[in-house]
Structure 1
């Protein structure tokens, strides 16, 4: 692909991940609070992330996005424009539904939005991998993290604030408008593909051979050096964090926090701390190395989850809650930037969407599983049980990272990644 000036490519990446995270985080953060206020049970809220199941299995159709496309518009650029436009249209459709009367239809619409957002993510990640040189990946992923943080702020905390002031319809129409507006940098970008992506043999005459070739793509990814260990670490870290994060929002509702207050805490302030974490990591990752940066991020995540225990013992002062959220979201920014940089290192340019997406799919898959279980853990063991279990899972991920730092490297870069 063409190598654009740094400020242009970073601006493009920021806008892509801003638009991508807005609808996703509305489902993940704003909707649980809205449903809890309407009397939904913790178990029901825990299953709400099941709407994001398409994101977990997006790797299944990522080879098709790598292989096919209307290249006159730019291979991945074409897919991003199509999927983001569809998501905006679906958001407009959901805005005209009543959440109390048409809840099943709203959930179907949100599931389709998740499907479109996950498909857009495949193309966006591949476009990012082609834009960034290896030495730019740390800063590039920091920019992606910042764009994603603003997307989370708008889709999560911002939408909570808007829902309280403007209501359901106007808020969702505004969200759709922002997604279309975020397409402008991409419309100004010109993408060039230097070579044809690896073709898939999936024609009707050779369906058996095509299916074997298709499945072999994912098997080959798992067989790469260090990949299984890396995916296991990523799964544990994701499950541990989301197990606690899913229940922390309804916990705030239970102690009497209003939606606008939660929006400012989890959305606006949380977003700012995530941006800070991403910025810091982007500046230091080349100096500290991938594995060391990831280990530091995991240790901060463990501390952040442990601090969530304080409010369960009655320490619910505003300063305490902002400290808890601040540290947790700073760790999110640091973890995400480092993890996505490692994923890029482990991806091959000829199938960038598939390689990168296969790794990122671990995050939503284990987010959904842990979120679904979090409601049951909270019911039988309380919020304290959820936070302790989350701490244990992230701690195991940190131990594995400390023991196998070289597994986080795509090649012979042990000196860069060794933890001393």
Structure 2
């Protein structure tokens, strides 16, 4: 074996570990956490509000420039940030395991927000490290390895975790195991990752001014939050009103004012790395329209998927083991299958046609959840899954899997995987290589807007109108994304035919 092949194997092994570390925390602040909340007896609207703990995924581009600009000592800019975020994630997951979502909801929410913040920060560095480490001829294979490892981690934290929780009757024990796995990933980052090229240095700017700009941005966000809250309270509204719609109004108003005010403060004080990277993106023709497309394209999927776990557990009465096997284990493998199918199709179709066709398929797949909500469990019969013991995961007794549930999950995940392929190809095509870390963080943050911000609305809406009407509404919400693809067809065609991606890592 040559030195070149050994080096390539080392690089791809590093990408495998980091892809796994990147995918592990997502469900722990999302679907797995929703299952824990549901089992602990938390009401549906509150579970919807807990979806807001993922807000850091939509803001990560605001601190991504700091991780580009500053270098932790000894380990280097990328490896240092990786080790720091991964050990911190392990610590917060351990703390989260000590809490109860029912008896200490505020502390539990703080811990979940910290998990999401550190996970989003880790994603920024993983994306940048992968770009810096891999030579151009290895990036396609490296992307496939990353996606495979990312989805494998999601199977563990989103699917296997539900099975463990059902068998152990303990979600805290599950989170302790996840904390130990994350600590092991941190050790690999600390001791075994290859270094990136020494020539890949941070952008040259005044560090004091960068920190001052970041501090000003935080102050602007805090001021916007306080201002929105104060105005609504002066209007006679109570943020703790029992009416969930009033609570939702406070949340949306606080976000709507805090973010622009934070951006304005950062711009005025001079957060140079952020300002330069964002100016570079918005200099592109149609930049704002592309951001609208990025938000809308997955919005229908976000609505349908925002409360899937509570819907299946509480609304349909499926067991944690059945949901874990069908929705998480089988579902994520089907997402990978859909991504590969989409990648093959994209070798024949240009970006515009791929986005259009896959977007329509995503919209149609949401109808399956409406059918499940109307017909209920058992409508199409079931299939028996025999007991098994694979060491890491086992099923102690034969379990029935609902055929309608499996069909709905298959349609949603395969079409979702196909849509994600084209979607990631779009994000890659819009990135300027000089600012790729911050640009990708910006675009993927906007991509997460639907997944994060529809959650509180979904919780309130599903309680108000019922599950069947809720899923019909998700189909209506998906339509504007498809329409935006058609309206931007000329601009999408000008982007050319980027190399197909395999899946989105968020």
The normalised TM-score by structure 1 is: 0.88
Q: Equivalents in 2 of 1:100, 1:285: separation in Å?
A: 46
Partner in structure 1 of residue 17 of structure 2: 15
Cα offsets for 1:41-71 (capped at 9, x unmatched): 2211111111111121111111111111137
Unaligned runs of 5+ in 2: 214-267, 379-401, 501-506
Partner in structure 1 of residue 229 of structure 2: none
| Equivalent residues of 1:32, 1:250 under 8 A apart | yes
Q: Aligned-pair distance for 1:245?
A: 1.0
Partner in structure 2 of residue 95 of structure 1: 97
Q: Equivalents in 1 of 2:498, 2:182: separation in Å?
A: 42
Judged with a 3 Å threshold, the aligned counterparts in structure 2 of structure 1 residues 415 and 262 are, in CA distance, closer, same or farther, namely closer
Judged with a 3 Å threshold, the aligned counterparts in structure 2 of structure 1 residues 132 and 331 are, in CA distance, closer, same or farther, namely farther
Alignment of 1:191 onto 2:196: yes
Partner in structure 1 of residue 152 of structure 2: 150
Judged with a 3 Å threshold, the aligned counterparts in structure 2 of structure 1 residues 20 and 213 are, in CA distance, closer, same or farther, namely closer
Partner in structure 1 of residue 496 of structure 2: 413
Judged with a 3 Å threshold, the aligned counterparts in structure 2 of structure 1 residues 307 and 290 are, in CA distance, closer, same or farther, namely same
Residue correspondence of structure 1 range 327-342 to structure 2 within 5 A: 327-342=411-426
Judged with a 3 Å threshold, the aligned counterparts in structure 2 of structure 1 residues 346 and 103 are, in CA distance, closer, same or farther, namely same
Partner in structure 1 of residue 358 of structure 2: 297
Judged with a 3 Å threshold, the aligned counterparts in structure 2 of structure 1 residues 62 and 256 are, in CA distance, closer, same or farther, namely same
What value does the CA root-mean-square deviation take over the aligned residues?
A: 3.0
Question: Pick from 280, 288, 291: which aligns with 2:349?
Answer: 288
Q: Which has the higher helix share?
A: 1
Q: Aligned-pair distance for 1:264?
A: 0.9
Q: Aligned-pair distance for 1:5?
A: 6.2
Q: Aligned-pair distance for 1:263?
A: 0.9
Alignment of 1:47 onto 2:49: yes
Judged with a 3 Å threshold, the aligned counterparts in structure 2 of structure 1 residues 70 and 36 are, in CA distance, closer, same or farther, namely closer
Alignment of 1:177 onto 2:237: no
Cα offsets for 1:166-219 (capped at 9, x unmatched): 313321121112223345664232222434332344535996562467435324
Give the number of equivalent residue pairs: 415
Partner in structure 1 of residue 167 of structure 2: 165
Unaligned runs of 5+ in 1: none
| Equivalent residues of 1:52, 1:111 under 8 A apart | yes
Q: Aligned-pair distance for 1:300?
A: 2.4
Cα offsets for 1:113-165 (capped at 9, x unmatched): 11111111111111223345667655544443332222222111221111122
Q: Equivalents in 1 of 2:363, 2:6: separation in Å?
A: 39
Question: Pick from 406, 409, 434: which aligns with 1:325?
Answer: 409
Alignment of 1:258 onto 2:314: no
Cα offsets for 1:61-114 (capped at 9, x unmatched): 111111111375242222112101110111122223344433332221121111
Alignment of 1:231 onto 2:236: no
Judged with a 3 Å threshold, the aligned counterparts in structure 2 of structure 1 residues 396 and 300 are, in CA distance, closer, same or farther, namely same
Q: Equivalents in 2 of 1:235, 1:47: separation in Å?
A: 20
Report 1 or 2 for greater relative contact order, CA contacts < 8 Å, sequence distance ≥ 6. Answer: 1
Partner in structure 1 of residue 225 of structure 2: none
Residue correspondence of structure 1 range 33-112 to structure 2 within 5 A: 33-70=35-72, 72-112=74-114
| Equivalent residues of 1:240, 1:370 under 8 A apart | no
The alignment partner of 1:308 has SS state of: helix
Deviates more, 1:278-287 or 1:122-131: 278-287
Question: Pick from 277, 280, 285: which aligns with 1:217?
Answer: 277
Q: Aligned-pair distance for 1:334?
A: 2.5
Deviates more, 1:339-348 or 1:181-190: 181-190
| Equivalent residues of 1:4, 1:131 under 8 A apart | no
The alignment partner of 2:30 has SS state of: helix
Cα offsets for 1:396-419 (capped at 9, x unmatched): 21232234235347x6527999xx
Q: Equivalents in 2 of 1:75, 1:389: separation in Å?
A: 45
Q: Equivalents in 2 of 1:338, 1:143: separation in Å?
A: 18
Larger radius of gyration: 2
